[in-house]
Structure 1
């Protein structure tokens, strides 16, 4: 059996919360032009490639994003 304890590995104390900066950071990861969307586009396009070089290139770019 396992136990889930919700706590951060390193304690954080936020003195001045900035909602605009938080929104910008979240948009970079999960928005339509964010890193995650770009990565998934590259990784899904590799399945339609014919040559092994193209597959390897798209795989490398997608994992780097």
Structure 2
């Protein structure tokens, strides 16, 4: 088996929270116009194109 340790590549120190910036980051990654949605559309189109 293996042991999973959830660690970042480099230490991050958060001094204050900013919910507005967090919402923007989440929207860009997982929103309808985000990177994840675009990559899923590209993957779906791959299987419908003839060549």
The one of the two structures with greater contact order (alpha-carbon pairs below 8 A, sep at least 6) is: 1
Using structure 2 for the length normalisation, give the TM-score.
0.76
Structure in which a larger fraction of residues adopt helix: 1
Where structure 1 has 5 or more consecutive residues not aligned to the other structure, the ranges are 53-65
- The structure whose Rg is larger is 1
Where structure 2 has 5 or more consecutive residues not aligned to the other structure, the ranges are none
Using structure 1 for the length normalisation, give the TM-score.
0.64
Q: CA RMSD in A?
A: 1.4
